[in-house]
Structure 1
Amino acid sequence: MLLVPAAHAQGPAPALPTAKPRPPAPAQPAADPAYEAARAAFEALPEAQRRAIQDSLVWTGDYNAVTAGTFGRRTYEGIVGWQRRQGVEPTGILTVRDRPALDAAGEAVRKSLRFTVQADPASGAVIGVPEKLLARKSPLPRGTRWQSTDGRVTLDTTSSPPGGTDLDALFERATAVTPERKVTYKVRKPDFLVVTGETPTGRFYIRHAAGADGIRGFTMSYDKTLTAEVDRLVIAVANSFSPFPNAAPAPEATPSATLSPGGARPGAGAPAPFAPPPLPGSVARPVATGLALGNGRVLTAAAALETCPSPLIGGAPARLTLRDPTGALALLEGGQHAQGAQPPAIRVEAPASGEALVVLGAEAKGAAVAPGTAGAGSVFAPLQPGAGGAPVLDRSGRLVGLVARFPATPRLIAGVMPPTSHALVPAGTIAAFLAQAGVAPGELAPAHPQGASLGAAAAPVLGSVVAISCGR
């Protein structure tokens, strides 16, 4: 479904075994001049204009991702596709004539559906509603229902006061699979979740966000035969959704504070996009995920650094100090924020096929928690670019592996990666490598049973997840 610090000054490093010669990095594909020119032109625009272009492309049916104002292949291909249909040169760069024409085309479709972004007093959220299609409106407990006259398309808002429920409980309920219900995409972040799926006759999109005022969300469901028409509306509704419009932006959270066992980040008020985009104007997007071990050391998958000769942690240079004999793991040094981290407990025995797992991937700020399922030497999970090296835990919080690599050309849907099988560096290899480096694994806290929720399993390790970016 389309539419979810400077390095710490240290003395000489302790002697470590000599690292194996590093194989030459594979040649990177040549840059596409047309794409790079389009990127430069797009990024030179103010953010409001960039978002408006993407919003118009949503309505013209040429873009099916987050209107975050960031440039990527979907934005480029959306502009090129629209230009081709207009019979103009498909450069990916909108001229002074293209912009008004694109805006008018998007606005015409929006108006034809009477798409109105409005406050919903019953839930407290703000949401866009295609009122021509969803002409019937009725109250729900702590929410509102908009529905088509034939009942084939429904949009429900919902809310829960603080302490009424939590994201973990909602996530478990939303991802429940039955013979009549299949989940096609699921993501659980510190302060929001997205789940999509289908039944024999219909499709659904669920989103909930947590903040100081409780939890607010919406569900959109529709008949499968209406997919071509309604998928675009799902994206527009999701992009318009503001769960806590009157809340002040929350202060910047440290990575260790981004997820509590209950799942909600206290004070979170700013609306999160329905699928997390890169953060424009902030730190570089991670090329890999690292697991801080303390004393400035960070463990990651070696394959995640194949095309990054100059890794950075927290914006500061990181030094490769050791690779394991199999070439699967790399140990870096650098980053003050990694000084006090403690290694997690390690589970050497492989998880059983189908066992519920948790994957912690680094993002531009903080870390993301994704549910996973164990396969044969792999994990099946909806990970995002930069997840190579991400630690994988069982539901008791023990490390069972690292994501070995992330696809160089991932297949994104609505700007996000659908659940995919990713190979793991097994825990036994990790344990042997850490022993070689003189790093002792941690001990499992007795309060974490195997059946713990995503939040409870991830919380002790979340603060040790660091983003690795690439210097030029």
Structure 2
Amino acid sequence: MRAIATLIALILGASLAFASDARIDYGPIKAAPKAKAAAKSKAKAAAKRTAKPEPAKAEKKAAAKDQKAKAQPEKTQPDKAEAAKAAPAKPEPAKPDPKAKTAKGKPDPVTTGAVAAAAKPGGIAETYAALSHTARAALQSDLSWSGDYGGPLDGVFSDRLADAVKAYQKRHKSKITGVLSAQEREALSAAVRPRQEDVGWLLVEDPVTGARVGVPTKLATVTARAPSGTRWSSEQGQLQIETFRIDTGAELDALFEQHKKETARRKIRFSAMRDDYFVVSGMQGLKKFHTRIYARNGDVRGLSILYDQAMEGTVDPMIVAMASAFQPYARFTVASVAGEAQRKVEYGTAIAASADGHFIAARAIVDRCQVIAIAGLGNAERLFEDKDAGLALLRVYGARDLKPIGIAQTGAPPSGADVTLVGVADPQSQGGRNVVSAVAARLGGGANALVLHGAPAQGFSGAAAVDAKGRFLGVVVQRPAVVAGPAQPPQTALIPAERVRHALAANNVAAATAHAGLDAVKNAARRVICVRK
């Protein structure tokens, strides 16, 4: 019987090891392609993945960590099986039960802090399912910044997320469970938060392609229209982040072959083909580059990052985070607009307009709300709305000694002027936090209002815009684009300070007239939360 039990335990250990053999794929995983010629497809994929064997530093590091993390279950599970197998060999049990021996070969449930991870099949998945979508996305984001996670920041549980957690736990010599305890989660967040804040990390929407992009806004301070997307860059062009879209029905294989070709100025250091996208990186002249291109039903969208070698110490560690944050086919907008479905819970920015609890907000954010709340203060009542401008006036009763924004007479800012937007990004855009941030934007001419080139982060509807001297220029709102032809993304518009002043005066709210200043505007900005039925 002991020999039979030993054989059963060995078979179970091997099965578990094979089941935990993880893929090294980097990025979103697409369903397996339709059966054509399986052997030929596998051979072709293998050839492509080994076309350029020398990965860039960031990807090589991430891949190595991913492999180590995914190898962990293969080592630990057989060890547990051996331990369970050896335990009954002691003379203590009077009647050894082979079934009991086999059962002991399974991992025991592990509790880490406040979170219990069940060891039964699907147990970890059930634990993650109990977390909110925002919490899962925030965890993915933080793990991408720690270099442990290379998948999409979509808030969806996957084996890759669990493996990333295990890699993090192994590196910090913690018990490897695949689920972070409350203490481990806080330690991870505390470790990556300063790095994110140093570069001004925000998730923004590309208004041209509809993609979601992670942008270091303190490094890439200039936003401009690119030939087929949007470009975020530093003042002198040392760093350039550009989105693009090619709606030509081009095949991904052909594009991959084209992009991995070397020229006199373009040297490829790493190239890899995945199911629905490919990665190419290397040197272009004296700059380093990283390009990702996705294809879906002939719609090709991509992200290109170009930067000076002098910035590699800063940018290289961010490559994994930027690649994970990029979602080419995700469309989210700064605020709901007419005709669009409104979210059950929506976040925006409100600006304090008086010391006694009056706030200016974007009307679309607080439309049809069952509950409106200002973070840190409490529930708010909507007193007034200007439908034409898209503004709303809120009041938090009982609030005292707030620091309102100064609305001085500045006149309309000129088209093409650079401005700074001050707001509170959506919790999902900033890892679940409630932090006021500032991003750069540029004004363009519009029929009824000034248009902002480049949509800011989700949650910035209602944000304040200030000029280079810190003077308040107006409030950010979104309006449907009124143009002939196919439907266009909504425009991000600026409602001038004069219109805001009139709205306050109509409701007997005396606006402060002193120049705001950037720090004062940050103190006046709060998150507004709308809960709908």
- TM norm structure 2: 0.39
- The structure carrying a bigger helix percent of its residues is 2
- TM norm structure 1: 0.43
Higher relative contact order (CA 8 A, sep 6+): 1
Instruction: Flag the structure with larger Rg.
Output: 2
